[in-house]
Amino acid sequence: DLSGSVPSEVGKLTNLVEIVVSSNDLSGSVPSEVGKLTNLVEIDVSWNDLSGSVPSEVGKLTNLVEIDVSDNVLSGSFPSEMGQLTNLVEIDVSDNVLSGSVPSEMGKLTNLEKIDVSWNNLSGSVPSTIGQLSRLNYFVVSFNGLSGTIPDEFYHLESLTYFTCTFTSLSGTISDQIGRLSHLEYLSVDGNAFTGTFPSTVGNLSNLRHFGISDNYFSGTIPSELALIENIKFILTPWNDF
């Protein structure tokens, strides 16, 4: 396994297209000089022991398609400069100790297909600009300190197949517009403070396989329309007010 830190001299490798050093024992911070590598298409430093903040200079890497810094101990706020990475398709910052909010600038990344920010210390609300990401199919914000409601714009994500926001302290109701998410296969909103009745329009989600709404404050009845979904395998509804 590789150990030690990522040297600042990496900034001299200006023809570099990929940095893939996952599953090693690298430590220290990500050097700001990485911002000089403007030909980079992929950064994968997952499963290391990197610390410090994600440098704002990452915003200069406008050719970047994928960034994976998951499973480190990165801290600080999510750099808003990442909103400049308009070619980005996948972003995974899960399992770190990032704080602050999910930046609204993320709505500019209209090529995004995957966002995973789970297992951090993020706070604030889910930005309404997320609704601009028409290609997004994988969206995970679980195990954070997010608050507020799911914005109406979220229900514009008609390419979404996988969504989980478990244990994030979200509240409010689930809109009947959820029936628009016809490609959704996995839905988990367990462990929040959602209230009201769960919309019957869930019956429109013919591809749904997993339906998890446990440990909330939903009331009324469990939607009978779930019986219309032939492929569903898991229905998890305990610890509510049904």
State the pLDDT at residue 78. 87
Return the structure tokens found at 201.
């329009």
Residue with tokens 């109701």, as numbered in its chain: 173
Low-confidence stretches of the chain (pLDDT < 70) are: none
Residue 232: predicted pLDDT: 97
Q: Hey, do 1-99+117-122 and 124-242 end up sharing a CATH topology, with the first three levels equal?
A: yes
d(CA 97, CA 144): 10
163 by DSSP, 3-state: which?
A: strand
Q: What is the pLDDT of residue 1?
A: 84
Rounded to whole angstroms, the Cα distance separating 179 from 171 reads: 19
pLDDT score for 108: 95
Domain boundaries of the chain, sorted by first residue: 1-99+117-122, 124-242
* Distance of alpha carbon 126 from alpha carbon 45, whole angstroms: 26
Q: 56: helix, coil or strand? A: helix
Asked whether the beta carbons of 116 and 138 are under 8 A apart, the reply is yes
To which CATH superfamily is domain 124-242 assigned? Ribonuclease Inhibitor (3.80.10.10)
3-state helix, strand, coil in the chain (%, to 5): 20, 25, 55
pLDDT at residue 45, rounded to an integer:
97
Q: Which CATH superfamily is domain 1-99+117-122 in?
A: Ribonuclease Inhibitor (3.80.10.10)
pTM of the shown model: 0.96
- What pLDDT score does 41 carry? 98
Residue 99's pLDDT is 97
